[in-house]
Structure 1
Amino acid sequence: MSAPATPVLDVRAVTKVYGQGETAVRALRGVSLTVERGDYVAIMGASGSGKSTLMNILGCLDAPTAGRYLLDGTDVGGLDEHRLAIVRNRKLGFVFQSFNLIPRMSALANVELPLSYGGVPAAERRRRALAALDAVGLAERAGHEPNELSGGQQQRVAVARALVTSPSLLLADEPTGNLDSTSTADVLGILAGLNTRGRTVVVITHEDEVAGRAKRVIRLADGQITEDLRRAPVAGPPRFGAAR
């Protein structure tokens, strides 16, 4: 009998405390969860619930005060900054609310950036970046700079950039927060389509519409998980619109 597959995320009794003594703030209070390969999880919570702190830990942008976090089987708590940067580059794809694209660089050049940091040769970078842009329906806009793209198109470029390294996890922080309803539907359709093709997706959100596309919803309150619910996601095919 084969061994069970290693979870993409394995969070074990993680706490996070800011400050000391009477002014200490306990942002996370013993959070434990696993996310299996190919899952699509939404993490929800009101302001102050701990979801942003949890996202920073999942993204290897912050370290827990106590507990363990294993990313694709690697205990990130034992890594130095150099090795941690390599893990972030190879195993994580980030999508942020504010897109975080570099102005005066083309969509193609923005998508190539993680590969540049990883030392991938130029020809291979271009091939993989074009494939990632094609996956989000923007291959024809490869030469356009961010200010020549709509908000929805910019976020799709950001998704392509997150995908280009073939990461173990796509981690999206409020990915539709700056988008109109049509562009929101486009981006959510892309994330759902990527998950259908096997990509592991974790979305941090406070929006029911965004969480409704996930297969599993985890709710946080006061630094603790209050609900972990698996359900059938709301259907919705990817929609690509060149004019958006």
Structure 2
Amino acid sequence: MIELDGVSKIYKTGAVELRALDSVNLTIADGDLVAIMGPSGSGKSTMMNILGCLDVPSEGRYRLDGIDVGRLRDNRLADIRNTRIGFVFQSFNLIPRTSAARNVELPLIYAGVGGRARRTRARAALERVGLGERIRHMPNELSGGQQQRVAIARALVTEPTMILADEPTGNLDSVSTVEIMRLLVELNDAGRTVLLITHEDEVAAFAKRVVRLRDGRIVSDVRQERVGVSG
């Protein structure tokens, strides 16, 4: 369960104060698939950073499964990021000249998992995203859609309860966009909470719920009939 209670994020430069988020209240249940939308400067990236424990609120509380994240030390925040949250980014963030399998293993290396277990879990994650035959391929040997699948496998390999996807289809063509969104829907249907940061209505159409931000505030929060999944 995700709870934002009066959350604000304030950046100060001298006497100038910018409220990137302004008294946001939001609850997201386990197993939901939510698209967070808004124009540039609306606060959606700031919200992503707070939800992903990459930053903490200036005001208000962020509770993740009842834990007040703002009260945690940096090492505990890092542990939550590495074990409970899987991140997927627009730019894939894969390491060049490193195989798909080794890219997927990285979070497990940081977690201190042994070599044999890492390889087994990385292979299973790549098979889960349909790339079991590409484990030895380098990123430059994969299409954009395949690279994003590797990134999703890397996000899955620690078995997180939540996936945060920041513009996950921003660098993909329309066919790959649908493939990636169907994969995220499958992961959601299997029980994972999925949060999407997107500016594309076509991507948000795959969500169960759409939250729109403007000037750091939520201006609409609508549950919808999910479209574009079958076929």
Give the TM bin, normalised by the shorter chain: over 0.9
Identity %: 62
1:199 corresponds to: 192
The superposition leaves residues 140-161 of structure 1 with CA deviations (integer Å, 9 ceiling, x where unpaired) of 0000010111111000100010
Pairwise CA distance, 1:36: 0.9
Q: Which residue of structure 2 aligns with residue 108 of structure 1? A: 101
1:148 equivalent in structure 2: 141
Aligned to 1:165, what secondary structure does the other structure show?
coil
- Kindly state the Cα deviation for residue 47 of structure 1 after the two structures are TM-superposed: 0.5
Structure 1 length-normalised TM: 0.92
**Would you say 1:120 and 2:120 are equivalent positions?**
no
Rounded to whole Å, the distance in 2 between the matches of 1:237 and 1:151 is 22
Residue deviations 1:117-174 (CA, integer Å, cap 9, x gap): 1111212111111111111101100000101111110001000100111112100000
In structure 2, how many angstroms separate the alpha carbons of the residues matched to 1:184 and 1:45?
19
Report the aligned-residue RMSD.
1.2
Which position in structure 2 is the counterpart of 1:131? 124
Hey, what's the Cα distance between the residues in 1 that align with 2:64 and 2:97?
Answer: 34
Q: For residue 36 of structure 2, give the secondary structure of its aligned residue in structure 1.
A: strand
Alignment of 1:14-33 (within 5 A): 14-19=7-12, 22-33=15-26
Q: Give secondary structure in 2 for the equivalent of 1:137.
A: coil
1:87-102 alignment, distance < 5 Å? 87-102=80-95
CA distance in 1, matches of 2:10, 2:33: 28
Residue 82 of structure 1 is aligned with which of 72, 75, 89?
75
Gaps of at least 5 residues in structure 2 are none
Counterparts of 2:142 and 2:230 in 1: how far apart (Å)?
Answer: 22
Instruction: Give 1:197 deviation, angstroms.
Output: 1.1
Q: Which residue matches 1:4?
A: none
The equivalences for 1:184-195 within 5 A come to 184-195=177-188
Deviations 1:207-241 (A, max 9, x none): 00110000000000111001110111113248xxx
Aligned counterparts of 1:113 and 1:72: Cα–Cα separation in 2 = 26
Q: 1:219 aligns with which of 212, 216, 220?
A: 212
| C-alpha distance in structure 2 between counterparts of 1:115 and 1:154, whole Å | 19
Equivalents in 1 of 2:14, 2:8: separation in Å? Answer: 16
SS of match in other structure, 1:88: helix
| Alpha carbons 1:11, 1:31 under 8 Å: kept | yes
- The Cα shift of 1:22 comes to 4.6
Q: Distance in 2 between matches of 1:223 and 1:122?
A: 44
- Cα deviation for residue 21 of structure 1 reads 6.5
Instruction: Quote the residue 2:222 is aligned against.
Output: 229
Distance of 2:173 and 2:16 partners within structure 1: 40
1:161 aligns with 2:154: yes
Q: Secondary structure at the match of 1:139?
A: coil
Moved more, 149-158 or 19-28: 19-28
The residue identity in structure 2 corresponding to 1:121 is: G
Q: State the one-letter code of the partner of 1:97.
A: Q
Calculate the TM-score normalised by the size of structure 2. 0.97
Distance 2:207 2:229 in 1: 11
- The separation in 2 between residues aligned to 1:133 and 1:146, in whole angstroms, is 14
What is the CA-CA distance between 1:182 and the residue it aligns to? 0.9
